[in-house]
Amino acid sequence: GVWISGNSWKDDAEVDAQLEALRAHGYPASVMVLEQWSDEQTFYRWHEEHFPNPEQTVRRIRKAGLRLLLWQIPVLKHDDEHPCAPVHEADIQEAVRRGYVIRREDGSPYRINGRWFAHSLMPDFTNPEARAWWFGKRKYLLDMGVEGFKTDGGEFLFEEGARLHNGMRGLEAHNLYTGQYVEAYQNFLKENGVRGLTFSRAGYVGAQTQPAHWAGDQLSTFSELQAQLRAGISAGLSGILFWGFDIGGFAGPIPTAELYLRATALACFCPIMQWHSEPRGGQYGGMRVENNDRSPWNLAQRLGDPRVLSLGIRFARLREGLRPYLWQEAQACVRDARPLMAHLCLDWPEDAVALSTHDQFMLGRELMVAPVMEEGKTSRRVYLPEGVWEDFFTGRRHSGNQTLLADAPLERIPVFRRLTS
């Protein structure tokens, strides 16, 4: 099903509005990702004013048929803008005193020296006591029904001489830290009997052992959409099995109807189909007053284009119909170490045209996907390797070893089912 991600949903009323919209439109979502759920300092306590009874909030989400993931970041936040909550100040002091944070060569705590969460401390997930302390504060979230975490960040260990509990220096640990962080969250879920997942942005060698990834925050432009297609195919070649992106982009001016629907069509045939949006006043200077929610109902109203809603729902329902196939193929991916979104070279390594085709991919072992990525285009050239191929939407059959011109109105994306190899 579709993942709906709400960086712009900051309270019970906005969450409930999305649940009601899903129901009213018959939109088959399966996962809700909440980002602005916490106190924005500890990142393990719910915001008391916005979510006064989080147990009930979680129950309503679960009753609507959705699994819930919460946003996380591996920092003890330094906050220049707001008074530090006493519980957060106590956490910082305890973490420093007990050696639960990464340290500099002189033994002082390492602080992030970049723009994002600048001056914050980083927990040392190679320290078993630090892990127990960190997740002890988050255990109650699993008890109330949370089933996973959007494990954002992890790239901000910049000091070469920094020291970790396991003896690593910063130069060695810079690329490895994200894996240590995400693995700790995976083990937290597993040790508590939760069959959930992590959803991560950063990674390095070994990232394929982590359940799912997304492309990071994107602007709402066709050039960014083209880059995301390349990124997804490249991630698969790097061993990432399950990947997704933000439909229509995450930030900047709201997408055009054409961009949103082309992105929706691509996402329908990606391992993870998700829409997501920057909060008002976010890091990219997002809208400070207007509603930036990237749901099809909000954008249809904002753009004055009912096709955004009708076709958005159509693709979501098509995605729902693909779930048995996706489940079958996901199991095969895990068994065979094959990405669900695969470059053609994995199936046709001796085919020179397949090797040089970088804007098509296989979704599983049967479906060839050729998205339209340029503004104003209503057709595109598609290469079909050897075999017999059936148009997913029209049922028309084509022989392989040819390039054809496929029609691609907004309501369709060129997809072909492999009948024989």
From the candidates 12, 14, 79, 155, give the one annotated as an active-site residue. 155
Answer for the pair 12, 39: CB distance below 8 angstroms, yes or no: no
From the candidates 152, 224, 329, 347, give the one annotated as an active-site residue. 152
Q: What angle do CA 193, 194, 199 make, to 5 degrees?
A: 140
Cβ count within 10 A of residue 76: 24
353/28 Cα distance (integer angstroms): 38
236/223 Cα distance (integer angstroms): 20
From the candidates 217, 224, 293, 391, give the one annotated as an active-site residue. 217
Nearest alpha carbon to residue 250 among 2, 5, 1, 31: 5
The sign of the dihedral angle between the CA atoms of 72, 74, 181, 174 is positive
416/381 Cα distance (integer angstroms): 13
The 3-state DSSP composition of the chain as helix, strand, coil percent (nearest 5) reads: 35, 20, 45
Answer for the pair 162, 104: CB distance below 8 angstroms, yes or no: yes
> What are the Cα distances from residue 18, in Å, to 137, 290, 296?
29, 17, 11
Determine whether 375 is an active site residue.
Answer: no
Determine whether 217 is an active site residue.
Answer: yes
DSSP state letters, 104-165: -TTSSBPB--SSTTTT-B-B-TTSHHHHHHHHHTTHHHHHTT--EEEE--------TT-B-T
Determine whether 39 is an active site residue.
Answer: no
Q: Say if residue 421 is exposed, middle or buried (CB neighbours under 10 Å; 0-12, 13-18, 19+).
A: exposed
Q: Catalytic residue numbers?
A: 152, 155, 217
